[in-house]
Chain A
Amino acid sequence: MELIGSGIGALLESPVFLAAPPWENPDLFGEQIVAGLATGSIYALMALAIVLIYRSTDVLNFAQGEMAMFGAFAMWSLWLAGLEPWQIIIIGVMLAAGIGAVIERLAIRPTQGAPQLNVVVVTLGLFILLNSVATWVWAQGDLPKVFPSPLSTTASVDIGIARITEHRILILGVGLSIMVALFALFNYTKLGLAMRATAQNRLASQLMGINVGRMLTLGWALSAAVGGLAGLLIAPITFLHPGFMFSVLIFAFAAAVLGGLNSPPGAVVGGFIIGVGENLLGTYTPQDILGTEMKLPLILLLLVIVLLVRPTGLFGQPEARRV
């Protein structure tokens, strides 16, 4: 837990003491917002990965974070072997997609038709398997490991409203591009239409000539690629250790539920709300009363309040079932 704590701490880079209120120090406020949006886009990507699988397979993939962690460690090895940081991101995303496709075929497909709970247990098993193998293979010597970024994690740029590190600009830029690309994929292409059809009604999709099995494999590959990208982008900030995706996954689950588990736009909005909310809570709540450790419960409290008002999340559609 020590490591996870330090991971979150590094992730937030928030001051230890209660900061000056926004009207006295607007720069700090702007910085916290922008940094929160950057972390938020990581949560949004992870939440998207979760939602993509939930929509098409009705499964909450608890191994989503560990799949990203596993891929990040593999890329760390390649970095040591001499690859450039930008090559690592591209190859890493492709590797993650491959991991997702293999997991769908070998571990998820055989559970088709089994009760939902069985599939949940399979993803929990994957969680433990991936974590154990990563610990066995990579977690030797000093932890956490330094993970490279194509841009600097310390040098910052003034973007008008705030100063922000180059790496966080990369996170925001890549994150937003991926979100736009996914939106275009699902709404304006044949493939996206076929994937949505498969997610909604497999029988009817098959009838209309869609290769449902291939769409499910593709869906897992796409989701794993998006989640893997989130891992590769956050690792230079949190550094690498076998538990580095735990907290990201919890915040991403919160983001997905907040936005509505079956709504990709909801996942994005939820991710940004949680990212910014986390930063503002960390900055403006009195540390001696609440402390950094209380941020997660506070975010989850916000989540509970939203769900009391809108049980399906901000953007979720209640599922209509003929009774």
Chain B
Amino acid sequence: MAQLSVNALSKQFGGIVALQDVSFDVQEGEVLGLIGPNGAGKTTLFNCVSRFYDPDGGSISFDSVDLLRLPPHRVVRAGIARTFQNVLLFKGMTVLENVLVGQQSRARGGLLSWPLPLPRAWRKEQELRRSPLEILDWLGLADLRDLPAVGLPFGVQKRVELARALAANPKLLLLDEPASGLSHEELKGLAQLILAIRQDLKVTVLLVEHNMDLVMSISDRVCVLNFGRRIAVGTPDDVRSNPAVIEAYLGEQDAQG
């Protein structure tokens, strides 16, 4: 059974159709790329899964749980974390504090407990799951842990946001344009990083991205939206040669002149 199942999802804003009857599944352990021209409805779909929007029709289920019945703050505990295209960090907090907030939903102990892992001597009893410090280490952010998040370069902020999402120990990670705004150097590492998240951390990845090289090189399957409708789904090769997809992208290029 699919891990995430989107069924006949529809969403309108005023008279504008953002999503219409969109259906697709995400299998556990795969990287699924979600692509489409600007305004195709990709971010709207992310926002429906994150429960920021209530869809007008259709259903979303995750691990057999009806997501639409959860309030937004329960989504992460159900096992879904996400990042944002423009990065939504807690700007007044340090890098480490940001990641601690991410770990909040699964941390043990009462509300008045200390959110950091205990000193080494006590740590044997600590849960074996990844701690915030280990995640920072894994993403090469350990040296920056006490710096305020606000002053960091955009690419680093994106990694901090990724660390925060991973700290929630998700089963499914929604990445909203992880490549946008990255330098050429940072881009090179991103593909490996996403594959490592899938391989080493056993996290399913649903990815919205405009960088075609990236999407096509790391996705197991690709789902294409255009004007709020799903026009294709399949392996990168299938999608690349799909006439409807070619038309959607070429049409957009024509429109942009």
Contacts and interface: CB of A to CB of B under 8 A. Distances in A.
A194 B114 CA distance: 12
Contact of B109 (A190, A196, A209, A211): A190
B11 interface: no
Given A206-B72, A207-B75, A210-B73, A190 B90 contact: no
Interface of A is mostly: helix
Nearest to B80: A207
B89 A209 contact: no
A200 B111 contact: no
Interface string B42-78: 0000000010100000000000000000011111110
B33 interface: no
A222 to B, nearest CB: 13
B1 interface: no
A173 B155 CA distance: 47
Nearest to A214: B73
A200 B164 contact: no
Interface in A91-117: none
Given A190-B107, A190-B111, A320-B91, A207 B72 contact: yes
A208 B112 contact: no
Contacts of B255: none
Interface residues on A, range: 20 to 34
Among B74, B82, B100, B111, chain A packs the most CB atoms within 10 A around the CB of: B111
Interface residues of B, number: 36
Interface in A295-323: 317, 320, 322
B114 A189 contact: yes
Interface in B90-139: 90-93, 97, 100-102, 104-105, 107, 109-115
B244 interface: no
Contacts of B107: 190
Among A188, A191, A204, A209, chain B packs the most CB atoms within 10 A around the CB of: A209
Contacts of A205: 73, 90, 101
B115 A208 contact: no
A167 to B, nearest CB: 31
B113 A200 contact: no
29 contacts: A185-B112, A188-B114, A189-B115, A190-B109, A190-B115, A193-B100, A193-B115, A196-B97, A197-B93, A200-B92, A200-B93, A201-B88, A203-B88, A204-B88, A204-B89, A204-B90, A206-B72, A207-B72, A207-B76, A208-B76, A208-B81, A209-B75, A209-B76, A209-B77, A210-B104, A211-B71, A317-B92, A320-B150, A322-B86
Interface of A: 185, 188-191, 193-194, 196-197, 200-201, 203-212, 317, 320, 322
